[in-house]
């Protein structure tokens, strides 16, 4: 009975405690994501303080200022350009090399593009919906793009995977303990029964 209680109740209690802890830690991670959020279509000047690789995410669930954005998981057909304000050079964007998505707190994102810069500085990020020939231009929905440095992206996804792996490991421990109690009890009772028969 003890083994069954630990086997069933242990993971349930551990899950309740862990998931409440995980959600609070995920909320704190969301506040610490060093990202630049831009509302498009339109253009904005952004400051990229580190050289290296960056990723552009489409945040279909997001908050910018006091406004909440919920624009659906389907990636919109939008054209994005990035130009250095210092040199006037256009920064080439490539499709993201890894299919990355995240949901942290009130923010959910899908990877769109990767790019790299050699020098920190100010860059103009612009985005627009392509005009369809022969059709009247409709009101284009505003969406949120988030620009995150590669080191922050790796840290973000490592933190998520580490948190989930740790939670699964801790939840699994009571299950193993419960099974062990049942097996040990069964073996001991079987041995005791065998001794009782041999002495009878």
- The dihedral built from the CA positions of residue 44, 49, 54 and 60, taken in this order, carries a sign that is negative
Inside any domain, residue 137: yes
The backbone region for 39, taken as left when phi is positive above 0, alpha when psi lies in -120 to 50, beta otherwise, is beta
Q: pLDDT, tens digit, for every residue of 83-117?
A: 999 999 999 999 887 678 888 778 899 999 999 99
What's the total number of domains in the chain? Answer: 1
Residue 108 sits at the vertex; the CA angle it makes with 28 and 70, to the nearest 5 degrees, is 120
- Identify the weakest region by mean pLDDT among 73-77, 124-128, 155-159, 182-186: 155-159
Q: How confident is the model over 134-192, as pLDDT tens digits?
A: 444 456 789 999 998 877 656 655 555 655 565 566 556 666 665 667 777 778 777 76
Domain membership flag for residue 77: yes
- Asked if residue 108 belongs to a domain, the reply is yes
199 part of a folded domain: no
């Amino acid at each position: 009975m003890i083994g069954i209680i630990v086997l069933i109740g242990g993971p349930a209690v551990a899950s309740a405690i862990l998931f409440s802890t995980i959600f609070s830690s995920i909320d704190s991670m969301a506040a610490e994501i060093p990202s630049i959020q831009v509302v498009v279509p339109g253009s904005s000047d952004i400051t990229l303080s580190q050289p290296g690789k960056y990723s552009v995410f489409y945040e279909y669930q997001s908050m910018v200022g006091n406004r909440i954005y919920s624009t659906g998981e389907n990636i919109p057909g939008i054209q994005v350009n990035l130009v250095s304000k210092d040199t006037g050079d256009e920064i080439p964007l490539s499709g993201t090399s890894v299919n990355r998505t995240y949901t942290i707190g009130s923010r959910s994102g899908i990877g769109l593009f990767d790019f790299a810069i050699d020098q920190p500085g100010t860059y103009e990020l612009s985005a627009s919906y392509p005009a369809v020939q022969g059709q009247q231009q409709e009101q284009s929905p505003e969406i949120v793009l988030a620009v995150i440095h590669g080191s922050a992206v790796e840290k973000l996804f490592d933190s998520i995977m580490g948190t989930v792996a740790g939670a699964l490991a801790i939840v699994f421990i009571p299950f193993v303990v419960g099974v062990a109690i049942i097996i040990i009890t069964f073996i001991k009772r079987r041995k005791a029964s065998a001794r009782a028969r041999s002495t009878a």
